[in-house]
Amino acid sequence: MSARSDRRWAELARELEFTRLPELRRQAEGWRNGLAGLTALLAVLGLLKGRDSLDDLPAWARTTATGLLVSAFLLLLAGSLLAVRAAHGVPGPEIVLGGQALRRWTEAEATRVTRALARAAVCCGLGLLLVVGALALAWSATEPAAKHLVRLRTVTGEVCGELLSADPQRIVVRGTDGGADGGADGGAAGTAVPQASLVSMEPVASCPGG
Amino acid sequence: MTSPLPSASPPPTQPSPPAPSAPAHEHALAYAEDDLGETPAAGFSQQPSPDGRAVVVEGTCPRCHGHTVTRFPLGLPGTGTKGLFDVLTGRGAAAADEDPLAGEVHFCECGHAHPQLPADAVFVGCGASWRIKP
């Protein structure tokens, strides 16, 4: 270390005594902005979006997607905090403000900032990957909208399928395979069951062969 | 954050009594930013300031032989990024425990405006700098 450099470090350390309060206020301002951004993000995610988009998933996919989203959220949160910390620092212990002490502190601090930035990038990248994974899972595993399946018991037998219409004369259902379900007039138009022959009707979760 | 003087800060040291034939302060010596290298610790002392917010190093400038007094305040060097992990592992420990007497480069601050002293000089003295032998 040259004598010129030593003198410059000592002069910088001498100046620090007079910039303490502005430095603390600048630091607090940075943290305020960072935390306000995080709070807004959480509010949007938690209050506006909710959990409705996962309701159409089967149980295993819902559990997996929830795990992915929670992990992604934690990683993004950690990444954001690390980035704020790298940008604005945190109040640390005081040091003896001498030129050489300041030089050593600055060298160590540069290493810490570099490390925090790298960790922030890794956390945010992984978080985004997990979000993309959860979205892909949701798209691929979402079940079609639930059909209104019913089972009709008639004097001649049973008919199971999607309820299409009902009126005082008849009830029309369509087989879960989209085709005829035993009725003579089945197919895309469905099977018409006369009300006079109806014994009972009940909703079911699925139909045989459906 | 305020903290008292670091517990591990060096204890006050008493300067060695000046030799009877100690040279007088050379007021006429021109300002020059001379690096004098290492200087014996004899004649230098350090002690906490009365308010406990600084360490004061005193001694005799090896160049102009004036009585130099330097105050090293405790303070925040900037916005640190030490996190919980660093605190737990002890990595990146602050320099609060450092010994300014032995670890710093010292500059003449005899307070006398030597000839050719720059108007913007931070350290008012003869311009000499030195390290103290551990």
Residue B6, pLDDT above cutoff 60: no
Residue A72, pLDDT above cutoff 50: yes
Could you tell me which of A196, A154, A149 has the C-alpha nearest to residue A173?
A149
Backbone dihedral region of B90: left (phi > 0), alpha (psi from -120 to 50 degrees) or beta? left
Q: What is the distance in angstroms between the Cα of A83 and the nearest Cα belonging to chain B?
A: 10
Nearest to B77 among A7, A102, A111 (CB): A102
For residue B39, the SS3 value is: strand
Predicted local confidence at residue B97, as pLDDT: 58
Q: From CA A90, how far away is CA B92, in angstroms rounded?
A: 14
Q: How many residue pairs bridge chain A and chain B with CB atoms within 8 Å of each other?
A: 134
Query: Who contacts B64 (Cβ-Cβ below 8 Å, separation ≥6)?
Result: B25, B26, B27, B29, B108, B110, B112, B114, B125, B126, B128
Query: Who contacts A30 (Cβ-Cβ below 8 Å, separation ≥6)?
Result: A84, A87, A88, B79
Residue B16, pLDDT above cutoff 80: no
Nearest to A23 among B79, B96, B105 (CB): B79
Residue B25, pLDDT above cutoff 80: yes
Instruction: State the average pLDDT for chain A.
Output: 82
| Across B119-126, average pLDDT | 93
Global pTM reads 0.64
pLDDT tens digit string along A13-25?
Answer: 988 878 878 878 8
Predicted local confidence at residue B20, as pLDDT: 54
Task: Choose the mutation target among B79, B89, B107, B109 for the interface with A, i.e. most A CBs under 10 Å.
Answer: B79
Residue B26, pLDDT above cutoff 60: yes
Predicted local confidence at residue A184, as pLDDT: 42
Residues of A in contact with B72 (CB under 8 A): 96-98
Specify whether the CB–CB gap between A97 and A12 falls below 8 A: no
Query: For chain A, what percent of residues have pLDDT higher than 70?
Result: 86
Predicted local confidence at residue A175, as pLDDT: 77
Predicted local confidence at residue B8, as pLDDT: 40
| Across A47-74, average pLDDT | 79
Strand order in the sheet with A95-96: A95-96, B67-75, B54-60, B45-48
pLDDT tens digit string along A121-169?
Answer: 999 999 989 988 988 888 888 766 667 888 989 888 888 888 888 888 8
More confident residue, B128 or B18: B128
For residue A20, the one-letter residue type is R
Predicted local confidence at residue A180, as pLDDT: 40
pLDDT tens digit string along A156-187?
Answer: 888 888 888 888 888 988 876 544 444 444 45
Q: What is the distance in angstroms between the Cα of A2 and the nearest Cα belonging to chain B?
A: 9
Residue B101, pLDDT above cutoff 70: yes
